């Protein structure tokens, strides 16, 4: 994800589905989500869109874990 978006490691690990808009192909980071405290819009390229769309945890709603990337049910 860092390769396709330029996001920092902590931004990637803390990314939740409510910040990902697959309809508009955007990731919306708020001020509190970034190291430099600046809100950002990140475009999603074709290759990364396919990866996000096919993640198995994408079907989860805003339940216990709304994180995009999980490992053994932990963010």
7-63 pLDDT, tens digit each: 999 899 889 989 999 999 999 999 998 888 999 999 999 999 998 888 766 555 445
pLDDT of 2 above 80? yes
d(CA 60, CA 73): 12
The pTM of the full predicted model, rounded to 2 decimals, is 0.79
C-alpha distances (whole Å) from 39 to each of 50, 64, 69 are 25, 25, 21
Two tokens at 47? 């290759």
Is residue 21 classed as helix, strand or coil in its secondary structure? strand
């Amino acid at each position: 994800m860092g390769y396709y978006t330029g996001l920092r490691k902590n931004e990637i690990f803390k990314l939740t589905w409510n910040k990902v808009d697959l309809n508009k192909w955007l990731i919306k980071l708020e001020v509190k989500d970034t190291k430099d405290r600046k809100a950002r819009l990140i475009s999603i390229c074709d290759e990364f869109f396919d990866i996000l769309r096919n993640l198995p945890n994408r079907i989860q709603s805003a339940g216990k874990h709304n994180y995009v990337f999980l490992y053994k049910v932990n963010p």
